[in-house]
Structure 1
């Protein structure tokens, strides 16, 4: 239910010299003009309240004469493509860094190991899934110390299936 007020007209609510000149139903904004010819808009959905300036001062309707005391100013800002594309450039930079990280991660995960060449007194053995250094030594009846000595730098906790070990011949 609406409430009647004695201040429901533009003359009581608007500053002196300001008049309502339009309403945009799509954005629900009211448009006003002050006595200098500047255009003002209300916030969406508000008939009155805080107004913000939309443009600079223009001469009143029907007055095409230009006042020479204040020359018209052309925009002096020369915007470059870098200024206009700045936010998009930042987005592409982030996407590129993300893709670079993904390719680096995938490339590190699929790193190929150089094939192992065994000496004359040892034979190659291809590691299978579930193998351990102890199980390989027991299977080939070789002491574990000899197996580790033949394969310098071997980490028994990280045996990768498909890699090759050298089994010493006893």
Structure 2
């Protein structure tokens, strides 16, 4: 492969006004169109560039070249239509993709926030200590354990905001020091 192969283009190598429009793999010949006159030319077999020979306009090679040129334009038009359809399809999917992304973010946030429940700090008065409510405990059971009634337990300094009907596991409550 030559050193300047990447710079071998039709515009550099062909005469002004010529365009390569077809390649016949059976004969290994390129067909060119001169844009100014509309005449067709063929290269020598096996050569991309070099001496170009005119083709009679009624020959089958000229017809094949015209058909190939038309087919190439049709393919280009079809490619443009496909690109447009692809953009429209992608545009139609964007709201759905955005919705899926939002749902995933919310799910991720929900899963990560499950372990972040804060334990409320209870400030108990002198002679009292804070305990955490265990599963199944009630105000009455806690009061009985520490020798207090429900009303006495609720009147202890630090238990002002305790509502026995809404007692939660892990909630702090003040009890007398034993």
* Same-fold call, TM cutoff 0.5: no
TM-score where L is the length of structure 2: 0.42
Specify which structure has the higher proportion of helix: 2
TM-score where L is the length of structure 1: 0.43
Structure of larger gyration radius: 2
